[in-house]
Amino acid sequence: MRRAVFPGSFDPITLGHYDIIERGLTLFDEIIIAIGINADKKYMFTLEERKHFIEESFKNEPKIKVMTYKGLTVDFCKKQNASFILRGLRNPADFEFEKAIAHTNRKMSEIETVFLLTSSGKSYISSSIVRDVIRNGGDVSGLVPETVLVK
Ligand code: ADP
Q: Is 24 in the pocket of ligand 1 (CB under 6 A)?
A: no
Distance CA 117, CA 88 (A): 6
Packed helices 73-80 and 92-108: angle between N→C axes, nearest 10 degrees: 60
Distance CA 38, CA 35 (A): 9
pLDDT of residue 120: 85
8 alpha carbon – ligand 1 mean position (Å)? 7
pLDDT of residue 70: 95
Q: Which are the catalytic amino acids?
A: 17, 41, 90, 127
To the nearest 10°, the Cα dihedral for 8, 11, 14, 18?
Answer: 30
pLDDT of residue 39: 85
Q: Which residue's C-alpha comes closest to atom 23 of ligand 1?
A: 16
Q: Which residue's C-alpha comes closest to atom 10 of ligand 1?
A: 8
CA 66 to chain centre: 10
pLDDT of residue 150: 65
One digit per residue, the tens of pLDDT, for the chain of length 151 reads: 999 999 999 999 999 999 999 999 999 999 999 999 988 889 999 999 999 999 999 999 999 999 999 999 999 999 999 999 999 999 999 999 999 999 999 999 999 999 999 998 999 999 999 999 999 999 999 999 998 876 5
